[in-house]
Structures are given as C-alpha cells and as structure tokens.
Structure 1
Amino acid sequence: MPSSATITTTHFTKHHQSAEEKEEEEELKLLSQECKELLLSLPKEKGWRTPFLYQFQGFWCQPKEIQSIISFQKHFKSRESDVILATIPKSGTTWLKALVFAIINRRRFPPATTSDTSRNHPLLTSNPHDLVPFLEYKLYANNQVPDLSKFPDDDEPRTFATHVPYPSLEESIKKSESVKIVYLCRNPFDTLISSWHFMKILRPESLPQFSLEEAFKMYCNGIVGFGPFWEHMLGYWNESLKRPEKVLFLKYEDIKEDVVSNLKELASFLGFPFSVEEEREGVVIQEIAKLCSFDKLKELEVNKYGKAMTFSKHFENKHLFRKGEVGDWVNYLNPLMVKQLSQLMEEKFMGSGLSFKLL
C-alpha cells in the first residue's frame, strides 16, 4: 500500500486493473498531488458517473470536484451585490439560471418576443450555463484561479451557480448580509429519476451498466453527488428560515404551478422588482416565463446542437433537456420503492417544516 507521500496514479498493476480502476487512474492524472493525498483519507463508494464518489466535508462528490471546491473556498471573495444560485444536481438548475439572468438583465435585453431588440437576447444564442457560470465546474475547475475583479463587465451583479451544500460555501458568502442566495429544489422522486437518466449519458462506456435499482439504493443511502439530498436541502432550508432576506428557498413544482407569483417573488428578492406598470401589464413577466420555458429553451439551436465544457469536453447541451415534467417518477419506481423513499423523506424532514407533494 503506497504511503500518502508517494501516491501516484499507477498503484494498480496494468494487467489486473478493472474498468473502474482504469477510469480512476485517468481521473487521478488530472489532480494535484495534494488532492491525491487527501483522497486517501476520505471514505469512498461506487460513483454514478465516475468510478468512485468521495465523502468530503460531509457530502459526496467526485475527485475533480473536491479539487475545485477547495480552490473556490480558498480563493473566492464575495462582493456585496453577488447573487449565488444553489441547487442539488438535476433540480432545475438550467431553468433557474435562465430565469435569474432574464430578470436581472431585462432592461438591457428585453424579453418580449415581439421586440426587435429581443432577437439579440443572450438566452437565444447561449446556453444558460454559459451565462451564469458554475463556481466548481467552470471558474475554479482544472486548477484555475480566475480573476473575477472585472466579472461581469457591466453594472449588473455578479451571478454564479453552485451545487455545494450551504456549510461548505466560501466563508465571505455566508458572512455577508447582502449577498443573495437563491436555492431551488425539486421533489426527491423526480430528482432521482432525472439524475439516473443524466448520469447514464455521462457515465463512461468502459464502466458497467448502472441500473435504476443500484441508483435507488445509493440515493436512499445518501450516496449521490453533493448528497445526502436531505442534508443538502435542509442546509439551505434552515438558513432561509433564519435569514429570509439572504436565502430564498424555491421549489421546482411551485414555479411550474404558478410561474407569475414565483417570478415576482424572485425579482423582488434579487432587488430587481417588477414595476407597478410591469405588473399591471403583465407582459414582461409572461415573456420572461415564455423565454425561459423548457419548451422554448429546448428548441433553440444552441441547445439542440451546441456543446458545453461545463460537464465534460464532449457534453451536448441537448442532454440538459429531457422532459422537465413533474411526476415522471411514476413511470419508473415500483410501489416498494415509493414506500421506502416516502418513509425516508418523512423521517429526514420530520419537524423541519419542509415537505413535498406527491401526485
């Protein structure tokens, strides 16, 4: 067994490597020696789209994510006007990015489809992930330490996204009284199914097939990216109860059910409330909802054929748009699974005030 001081990416003999070991070796090549040594001390379990997930600061994530999160925690410094969009994966992140971008930038980029200027709206030509960058997947990935002093190049607030649980956010974000955090979550049933479909796409072909039964068991044990899901949700939920002026907690299903009311609340929280005239006419709010809708984003050229570096070098934007439905889980989970996950949620959320509607 190699010591922590001598760990390399070749501590398996070539002739006896499993597919998981070979993939892990490739993953380790991209890491600093410091991060490799850290991994030796962390619990690990089978991963969803990488050979293994590691338990880091109480949550599960991939090796590359650990390295970028450490860099983010070490180097990022918030501004008082910053906006942080937080989600657990597959909870409507792309939608939230689009909505917030459209709300904050509606003066520069009117969303009205009948307006000539709206034809130049960035959401029509750029994927939302390119407009609102991830801290851990984009800005601090691959050993980068970006200079964010000139980001963005206008007067609007800096807007970033993250999957990092609340306790592991960089300290200046948590301590600030004015940095805004918007948290969007989704019914855990739908999050599970969406995650499973997404990870099957990203999972290397060299790794064994990943069944729904395996995914379900791991999910219920809390072993999922940035999970356990209940701890991720409760971290932001509890903070939103303590500091509602700082953390806005939204549910995917609620926005789908009443997009207008939720957009008003979101705009007001961000400090960009809709004017009396905008609310009276209702056109701007409706146009933002239409511009950022699942169907509209899915049909755009950039999201049909474009590629983004956010998730992997060959990732296609179209994989971000599967169904966007509420309740799709009924087509996949058997009664025993439904009972088990329902009981788990009841146990974990008991007494918190956080609950989710089933169908």
Structure 2
Amino acid sequence: MADNELPMNLREDNVSEETKKLISSLPTDKDCVGKLCKYQGCWYYYNTLQGVINFQNNFQAQETDIILASSPKSGTTWLKALTVALLERSKHHDGHPLLSDNPHALVPFLENNLYLKSSTPDLTKYSSSSSPRLFATHMPLLTVKEGLKGSPCKIVFMCRNAKDALISLWYFRCKYQKLEMTRGILESMFESLCSGVSFYGPIWDQVLSYWRGSLEDPSRVLFMKYEEMKEEPYAQLKRLAEFFGCPFTEEEEESGGVEKILELCSLPSLSDLEINKSGKNVNGVDYKFYFRKGEVGDSKNHLTPEMESKIDMIIEEKLKGSGLSF
C-alpha cells in the first residue's frame, strides 16, 4: 500500500519543520507499516507524533473532561460506547446517539483525530452544558498529563491480554490496508510486540503508566481489564458509573437499566447498526472493521505455543514487582 493510501495517522506527510527537527534527535526504527520514532518512551508513526505534539502544546483541558485511554485493540470501541451510554442514559427518549453515530465519532481520539490535522481543532461540538467532554487516546499517562496541564479531569484506562490484542490488530490492519491475512505479517507484528518497537509500544510501559497512576490517584485514574469486563460486565459497568460520579440508582437497577446499556453496547447490537456497517472514520477506515469477535483467548487459535510462551514470559518479566498481572 502506497504511503498516501494509508490512514493519515500512519503516514509521514503532515509533519512540521519543528517536529522534523525533533524527530532527528529521537530514536527511530520501522515496522511493517512505516517509520517509527520514540518520544517520551513511546513509539509513534511520524504523523501521529505531530498530533501528540499539537495536543500537548495546545489542548485546553476542562475540569469535567473525561479521557478514555487504552492500548490499541483492547476494547476501545466498547469502552467508548459504554461511557456514552452511561452519561447519556437519562436524556434520550427518541434517538440515542449510539444508534446514529459510531463510538469513535462520538469520542474522538486526541492525537489520531482532532490534533492530527490541526494544532487548533474546533472542539465546540464536543461541549455541552449537561455532559462532560469525552476524548480518547492511546498515549501513555505521562504524555497525556503533559497535555492536561494539571487539570483534575478523570481518566479511564482499558487494557487487554497482549496476545489477544495482537491478533485483533493483525485482522484490523490487514482489513484496512487491504492485505492478505498472511503468517508473515503476523510474525512481523509478533516480533515488533516482543521487541517493544511497535505503534504505541512498548505495551508493558504503556499499561504500567496507567496502573501506577491508578494506584497513586484512584479517584482520578481508573484501571480496567477487558477480560474482567467480559467476565462480569454488570459489576464493571457499575464500577465505571461510580467512578464518573453517576452511580446507578436502586430504581435503575431494579428496572433493568444496567442490562439495557450492556445490550445497547454489545458487539451484536452495535455491529448490526447501519452506521457501523457502511460508515468510515475521519482517517478513512471502515467502521465495520472495528467489530470482529471480541473474544477472550482467541490468540490460541492463531499463535503457536512457542509464540504464546514468549509473549507470556516477556510480559511477566516486565510487570514483575508491579502487582499487576494478566
């Protein structure tokens, strides 16, 4: 795929002279998509780095903002949908926003969307007197905090087993790049994951940044696991609502309010909506590619036992002593 056919965030054609100068001073490498550079401990494609810099320099945080952070392919779409449904639950008697728009349009990425094309994007459409602004990111916590400039806004982080996230990313990347699903591509992505030189990697550093942030300031940073969301969605959704300061009332629970949100945001429900069958995001990626299986343990159907063991050993070693495990 030619560089200009890639989604804009994966390219290197929108970088300022100042950022080019910065990149020349940073560690650089490449993967099967393109050139990467390491900024504040995290690997980015060049255009995405420009979005990161634009965000850090120009974002004006509001105290009520909510930032939904995640590792790539770790339940991001689901977390966005659940958050929108939670915060909008008392307002929509007619058309719910999730019925007519994709979660990624309702909760835009800061560095991969809003600040990717402009250093001063118009954020007014995300403001309302009755709801907090919602934004998303894959950046590590240190980089996010630099852009928040001391704002006390809340941050939710969703992580997922690295093996399942790898398989999900393999499918996703091959679909939007119109590539054949080959072992060669998977093995290349596997090597990138294990070396830590991957988009938004190393995954263990990113996850640990939010894990430590949640331990230091649990009222401001909530750490969630995709596997726990799948295993006990009712309890985890209540936990999310309490963190946002809008817990479910007894009446809501008795009338099935929690179940309604879980049903609305389920993969079968969302993937069946017309917007998610035919729409595209701002970078030209089809929304339908964001909905596949959403299963726990799917990696065992694709990775060899040796590959699984290598990832497990690396993650265990990197997380040692942190109190966090997958």
TM-score by length of 1: 0.84
Q: Which residue of 2 aligns with 1:245?
A: 219
Quote the Cα distance in structure 1 between the aligned partners of 2:312 and 2:137. 27
Aligned counterpart for 1:42 among listed residues 13, 26, 32? 26
Structure 1 residue 189 displacement after superposition: 1.0
Is residue 308 from structure 1 mapped to residue 281 from structure 2 by the alignment?
A: yes
Quote the Cα distance in structure 2 between the aligned partners of 1:292 and 1:27. 32
Q: Which deviates the most, 208-217 or 321-330?
A: 208-217
Q: Which residue of 1 aligns with 2:142?
A: 167
Quote the Cα distance in structure 2 between the aligned partners of 1:150 and 1:323. 32
Quote the Cα distance in structure 2 between the aligned partners of 1:144 and 1:303. 29
One-letter amino acid of the counterpart of residue 279, structure 1: E
- Per-residue displacement from partner, 1:134-191 (whole Å, max 9, x unpaired)? 1112211113412436741332111111111001114363633x41101011111101
Q: Which residue of 2 aligns with 1:355?
A: 325
Aligned counterpart for 2:289 among listed residues 312, 316, 319? 319
One-letter amino acid of the counterpart of residue 269, structure 2: K
Is contact 1:67-1:143 (8 Å) kept?
A: no
* 1:258-297 pair list within 5 angstroms: 258-281=232-255, 283-297=256-270
Change (3 A) 1:330 1:209: closer
* 1:4-153 pair list within 5 angstroms: 27-48=11-32, 50-109=33-92, 117-118=93-94, 120-148=95-123, 151-153=126-128
Is contact 1:72-1:170 (8 Å) kept?
A: no
Q: Secondary structure at the match of 2:22?
A: helix
Quote the Cα distance in structure 1 between the aligned partners of 2:183 and 2:19. 28
Is residue 344 from structure 1 mapped to residue 314 from structure 2 by the alignment?
A: yes
Is contact 1:28-1:36 (8 Å) kept?
A: no
Q: Which residue of 2 aligns with 1:112?
A: none
Quote the Cα distance in structure 2 between the aligned partners of 1:125 and 1:135. 22
Quote the Cα distance in structure 2 between the aligned partners of 1:198 and 1:229. 18
- Per-residue displacement from partner, 1:181-223 (whole Å, max 9, x unpaired)? 0101111110111112222233476xx9952111111101111
Is contact 2:11-2:46 (8 Å) kept?
A: yes
Percent identity between the aligned chains? Answer: 45
Q: Which residue of 2 aligns with 1:220?
A: 194
Structure 1 residue 40 displacement after superposition: 2.2
Quote the Cα distance in structure 1 between the aligned partners of 2:11 and 2:248. 46
Q: Secondary structure at the match of 2:117?
A: coil
Structure 1 residue 224 displacement after superposition: 1.6
One-letter amino acid of the counterpart of residue 111, structure 2: E
Is contact 2:172-2:289 (8 Å) kept?
A: yes
Is contact 1:240-1:249 (8 Å) kept?
A: yes
Q: Secondary structure at the match of 1:261?
A: helix
TM-score by length of 2: 0.92
Quote the Cα distance in structure 2 between the aligned partners of 1:108 and 1:321. 27
Is contact 1:21-1:51 (8 Å) kept?
A: no
If you compute each CA radius of gyration, which structure gives the higher value, 1 or 2? 1
Q: Which deviates the most, 196-205 or 339-348?
A: 196-205
Change (3 A) 1:27 1:162: closer
* 1:323-338 pair list within 5 angstroms: 323-338=293-308
Change (3 A) 1:20 1:289: closer
Q: Secondary structure at the match of 1:140?
A: helix
Aligned counterpart for 2:130 among listed residues 141, 155, 160? 155
- Per-residue displacement from partner, 1:89-123 (whole Å, max 9, x unpaired)? 100111000000000011112xxxxxxx35x1110
Structure 1 residue 346 displacement after superposition: 1.2
Count residues with an aligned counterpart.
321
Structure 1 residue 279 displacement after superposition: 2.1
One-letter amino acid of the counterpart of residue 128, structure 2: D
Superposed CA RMSD in Å reads 2.3
Unaligned runs of 5+ in 2: none
Q: Which residue of 1 aligns with 2:159?
A: 185
Quote the Cα distance in structure 2 between the aligned partners of 1:174 and 1:232. 19
